Amino acid sequence: MTKVIPSSIQVGELATGQALNIPLYDIQGSDSAAPSVYIQANVHGAEVQGNAVIYQLMTLLEGYDVLGDIRFAPLANPLGINQKSGEFTLGRFDPITGVNWNREYFDHNIDLTTWYAEHQHLTNDGLFDAYRATLVESCQARLNQPFGITTGHRLAVSLQTMAHKVDIVLDLHTGPKSCKHLYCPEYDIDAARFFSIPYTLVIPNSFGGAMDEAAFCPWWQLTDFAAQHGREFTVPVSAFTLELASQERIDLADALEDAKGILAYLSHRGVICEKVEPANMARFGCYLKDYKKFHAPKAGLIEYCAAVGQPLNAGQPLVNILRMDLYGSDEAHQVISLPMDCVPILHFASASVHQGTELYKVMTNVFTL
């Protein structure tokens, strides 16, 4: 039976001097040649469903022959998780700096011209080991720089250090009111067919500050640079963000289905010995450039008419806007629609909004995977 080993890691210090720790759970694989994995959840305080998925996945893995090392970091951001106001969890932004917790990761900007010239004599495996060591050392230098770094950046770079030590990175999130969707790098689009997720956003191979990009972008850059110099290999690291429906919600039965999808991907990659087939379901994709944000044209009270995860035809109601201050006029109630077919993926949680609030995110130009 596979054993899950608990531990913890310090990612900062509280104002009162106590260590800020996060729990870790490790499974030691039996084959050092098998891919290694890092899975984290709850970087945003209200996005708790990833913890249920990790729980279900660890429970499943106890009955499998695990070949590759797997590290789990649930409750990855205790500062955000404990950032409460009344009944709500506010932990999406660092309250000190206002920066999104998931945009705090480090862009290394490795000088590949110099680095590759010094290491190009190595075998592919040797090259990858050296590059991995460079990324980890770069993170350590960032954490120890003389002028210090912010609390949020320290947390992020500490998580990023663990992510740089593995071959597969999964970052578990949720939306406000959302259907399940996957962020997948363009070079790895075939991987989307293994997860139990109906919609995939295909993202460019560039850094935007999130964990998935922080994990795969340096490796895509190395792969591309080597190809320009006549050396071909596939991108050695895979990284995805899994959006597991809505925040402030735990659903263990639903989490089991997502855990099975992750298990199917790990089976495909050879992390576990057993063969696990992906769910038989329709899957659709959209390029990030075609993922559109709809902002409130005016303030008011919002009825969200379009169901997330369901195709919406052009001209069908997206939202109703109610303006009680304009009662008696034609502007008291306004129906808003979009001029193109789309699939609404998520919408804002509150019914009371300012003008310009991001109400919906929708996929356009959707295609079958």
Q: What is the pLDDT of residue 366?
A: 98
Q: What is the mean pLDDT of residues 200-206?
A: 95
Residue 89 has pLDDT above 90, yes or no: yes
Three-class secondary structure of residue 143 per DSSP? helix
Q: What is the mean pLDDT of residues 44-52?
A: 98
**Six-digit token string for 368:** 């079958």
Q: What is the pLDDT of residue 188?
A: 96
* Predicted confidence band of residue 41 (pLDDT cuts 50, 70, 90): very high
d(CA 337, CA 324) in angstroms, rounded, equals: 21
* Predicted confidence band of residue 176 (pLDDT cuts 50, 70, 90): very high
Nearest Cα neighbor of 284 from 343, 203, 366 is 366
Q: What is the pLDDT of residue 1?
A: 79
Q: What is the pLDDT of residue 46?
A: 97
The C-alpha R_g of the chain, in whole angstroms, comes to 22
Amino acid present at 119: H
**Six-digit token string for 275:** 């063969």
Residue 166 has pLDDT above 90, yes or no: yes
Residue 3 has pLDDT above 90, yes or no: yes
pTM: 0.97
d(CA 203, CA 243) in angstroms, rounded, equals: 14
**Which residues are paired to 177 by β-bridges?**
347
Q: Alpha carbon 14 to chain centroid distance?
A: 26
Per-residue pLDDT tens digits for 227-285: 999 999 999 999 999 999 999 999 999 999 999 999 999 999 999 999 999 999 999 99
Residue 306 DSSP code: S
Backbone angles phi, psi at 114, to 5 degrees: -70, -45
Q: Alpha carbon 223 to chain centroid distance?
A: 22
**Which residues are paired to 100 by β-bridges?**
93
